[in-house]
Structure 1
Amino acid sequence: MDLPNKGAELTVGMPFASFEGTRMVISLDSPVKGRVVAVNPELAGLVAPSVNNQDYLIKIESKSCDLN
């Protein structure tokens, strides 16, 4: 699992996370423009993390009200 660093600037549609499986790589695109203010330290770089509904990947301070 690859996640951005704290402080990274994201734009709408910019890939911010990737998950590698046995035969595929899935990337997630940012729905907002903003700055990464927190990265879940328990997930960054892990292989097969266990995630529940209360966990987060990253937290973003949005610089725009426009959602994609």
Structure 2
Amino acid sequence: MANERYVTPLDARVAREVAKLDLAERESFEERAAIMEYEGGMPRREAEQRALAEVLTERQLRAQRADGHGLG
């Protein structure tokens, strides 16, 4: 989902994957990347890569819980 209010991630692979996120996932990605970059002092490219990994992991965990395969 393309949204002009967001800056395109620096890494092309990350940008392609982020473009596929729904709005809630994109908001989570942006927030996580910003916290890692500004509060954690992480370089922007790395912050975006890690934020994407976290969002995709959270998506997978939600899907597993929905399928009844979650831990809780």
Could you state the TM-score of these two structures normalised by the residue count of structure 1?
Answer: 0.28
More helix per residue: 1 or 2? Answer: 2
More strand per residue: 1 or 2? Answer: 1
Could you state the TM-score of these two structures normalised by the residue count of structure 2?
Answer: 0.27
- Work out which of the two has the higher radius of gyration on C-alpha atoms and give 1 or 2: 2
Whose relative contact order is higher, 1 or 2, with alpha carbons under 8 Å and at least 6 apart? 1
